[in-house]
Amino acid sequence: MSLEMLSELALALVAFLAAVVFHEYAHGRVAYALGDPTARDARRLTLNPLAHIDPFGTVLLPVLLAVLRFAFNMGVPIVGYAKPVPVNPLYFRHPYQGMMLVALAGPFINLLLAGVGVGVWQSLGASLPELLAFFIFYFVVINVILAVFNLIPVPPLDGSRVLLYLLPQGGKRLLMQLEPFGFVIVFLLLYAGVLQALLMPIVSWVEQILDFGRFG
């Protein structure tokens, strides 16, 4: 692996870490605003990355996917997750609605951060140093991918909390029964190429928006 490729990999992983930390912080902040002090009491209402790192989801999985993407030129998205912020819906006046709002906070902050990245890119334009351009590109891509990925309505992803709010009582029970198998379903979707088919066009779309080809 060349030095340039290692630099890109490192920048992508830093962008990923920032995206997941803000994602989890947003969950905790909205839960706290709705009356749930659980994240604060667990010292998770912070932007300190060390409070949110999950050894597999924040380190091993994204590193593995990044190596497959950069070293082996495989078209896989860089996805992963941080340690979930603890939320107790019993503190909410309307538990299902509260959980939906908490869930939507994560993808919302990711899309907001992606928008900030695009704004910086458009403001600085061609004056961007190459390494900063690579970082902003991956920062935008990863934030958009995390937002879309987490809105997939499969437990324990955020989209399942939205679906849980919308479903009738029988559907709620069925969805909650799927919770223990959620990560298995996600990995099967990844293995089958479904997630790649959904997420990789996002990379091309962001490349077009940012005119990233000039840095290629």
Place of tokens 């969950």: 27
Task: Map tokens 């896989």 to a residue.
Answer: 76
- Structure tokens given for 189: 């979707």
Q: Which amino acid is at 144?
A: V
CA distance linking residue 10 with residue 60, whole number of Å: 14
For residue 71, which phi and psi values (nearest 5 degrees)? -85, -35
Q: Is 130 a catalytic residue?
A: no
Options 24, 130, 179, 207, the catalytic residue: 24
Residues 6+ apart with CB under 8 A from 17: 49, 58
What span, in angstroms and rounded, lies between the C-alpha atoms of 198 and 206? Answer: 14
Q: Are 114 and 15 in contact (CB under 8 A)?
A: no
Task: Return the closest-CA partner of residue 17 out of 104, 113, 101.
Answer: 113
Indicate which residues carry an active-site annotation: 24
